Amino acid sequence: MRLQELYKKEIAPKMKEKFGYKNNLSIPKLSKVVINVGVGRNAKDKNFVDKVANGLAAISGQRPVLVKARKSISAFKVREGMIIGVMVTLRNKRMYDFIDKLVNITFPRIRDFRGISQKQIDQQGNLSVGFKENLAFPEMKVDEIDNLYGIEVCLSTTAKTNEEGRVLFKLLGFPFVND
C-alpha cells in the first residue's frame, strides 16, 4: 500500500484518537519536502553545479532550482547573484514517493546508521536530516560519481508541537533512536 493511502486509512485515525482532534483538517500531515545541496567552494565550477543539479533531479524526479546569493559577503568570497546552492521542493505524490524511498531504501543503505535522533525535530514538528554523502540514494551510481557532496532533507508538517510531529514521523515509519 502506498504511503499516501496508508496515511488516510491508518495514520490519520490514530493521530485523531491519540490527540483528540475534532476536525479531520486539524490532523497533522506532511506539507512539503525540501531537498537542498550547498555548492560551497565549488560555486565557480559550472560543471560541478550541473552535476549536482543532475544528481538532485535523479533523486527527486523533478527539475531543481539554482539558488543565488541575495547579497555579497566578502569574507566568504560570495557576490550577489552567484549560485550558492541547488534545491527541490516536493509536494503531494512525489513527496510521498520520496519519503517511502527515504525510509525503506536510503536509511538502510547508510553505513553505521542507528536511527534518527528525536532532537532533529523542531518545536513546530518539522524534521531535518542531513546526509554526508550522496551515495546513500539508490539513483547515485558509485562508478558515475566524480565528487561527493552532502544533501539536506527538510520535511515540513502542519503539526503545531514537537510531540505531534514526533508521533507523525513514527507512524510514517521513520527509524528513531531512543535518546
Q: What is the tens place of the pLDDT at every residue in 79-129?
A: 787 777 888 999 888 888 888 888 888 877 777 777 788 788 888 888 888
Residue 27 within a domain:
yes
CATH number at residue 27: 3.30.1440.10
Residue 61 within a domain:
yes
Q: What is the tens place of the pLDDT at every residue in 143-167?
A: 566 677 778 889 998 888 888 888 8
Full residue range of the structural domain in which residue 33 is found: 3-172
Half-sphere exposure of 30 (CA within 13 A, CB side): 29
pLDDT at 170: 84
Residue 120 within a domain:
yes
Residue 177 within a domain:
no
Domain count within the chain:
1
Q: What is the mean pLDDT of residues 8-25?
A: 81
137 DSSP 8-state letter: S
Residue 32 in this model has a pLDDT that exceeds 60: yes
Residue 70: φ, ψ to 5°: -85, -30
Residue 110: φ, ψ to 5°: -75, 130
pLDDT at 66: 87
Three-state DSSP string of 72-131: CEHHHCECCCCEEEEEEEECHHHHHHHHHHHHHHHHHHCCCCCCECHHHECCCCCEEEEE
Residue 1 in this model has a pLDDT that exceeds 60: no
At 139, list the grid cell: 539513483
Residue 57 within a domain:
yes
Please report, for residues 147, 154, 159, the alpha-carbon distance to residue 26 in angstroms, rounded to integers and kept in the order given: 44, 21, 9
Please report, for residues 41, 42, 44, 49, 76, the alpha-carbon distance to residue 72 in angstroms, rounded to integers and kept in the order given: 15, 17, 15, 19, 9
pLDDT at 34: 92
Q: What is the tens place of the pLDDT at every residue in 39-79?
A: 877 767 777 788 888 888 888 888 988 888 877 777 777 67
